[in-house]
Amino acid sequence: MKRIVTLCAFAALLLTGCARSQAPAAPTLDEVFASRRSIRAYQAGKTVSEAELRELFLATQNAPSWANQQPSKYYVALGDEKREAVLELIGGNKDRVVNASAFIVSTFEKGKSGFFRGNPVDATGDFWGAYDNGLSNAYLVLKARAMGFDTLIMGMRDADALRTLFSIPENEAVLAVIALGYRAQDPSTPAHRPLDEVVKFF
């Protein structure tokens, strides 16, 4: 009898230890949607690793694109020198993101999405590339939030200077700069337009 009690106690101890060592549950997709915000204040001194960024970019490769052309490209300022250089090229957002852990320059290859045999298939032309890049960026910011990071997509940027800084080829259009780091404060939830103003059912 003592042996049975001892075995049961040992099994309970093992189960308790396993439960304690389990990682916290990953957020649901709805939780990611609800907690992702455009963050304009970041914690100083917190870093993000290249391994974590690689996991992040692997997620962006699941984003859909025109005929699977995958036109999106990314250039990452992770070291101090490149980060400081990017800060000088993003206009009025500099003070808001000065403590971000990394800056990601988002581009797309022109003449791929929306083209067939070198010719645009409709009047949209290279805007399809921007569309695909937007989809890829959406995956990026959502995966970042699921990993515990925060982001700000910035349109104010010196595209020519960024092209020089990262040796971005001329056949790529420079779109956004995305700050990535850890929020310093929780922003309020913005109001959304009534659903019936943006969706029509027929």
CA pair distance 59, 143, nearest whole angstrom? 7
Residue spans per domain, the chain:
26-184
**CATH classification number, 26-184, choose in 3.40.50.10860, 3.10.20.30, 2.30.30.30, 3.40.109.10:** 3.40.109.10
**What gap in Å lies between CA 67 and CA 192, rounded to an integer?**
33
What digits encode the pLDDT tens for the residues 111-167?
999 999 999 999 999 999 999 999 999 999 999 999 999 999 999 999 999 999 999
Collapsed DSSP state (helix, strand, coil) of residue 184: coil
The H or E element that residue 173 is part of is strand 172-181
Q: Are 79 and 143 in contact (CB under 8 A)?
A: no
For residue 5, give the DSSP letter.
H
Measured CA to CA in angstroms, residue 174 lies from 72, 129, 158, 167 at distances of 10, 11, 9, 11
pLDDT, tens digit, for every residue of 15-24? 444 444 576 7
- The pTM (predicted TM-score) of the whole model is 0.87
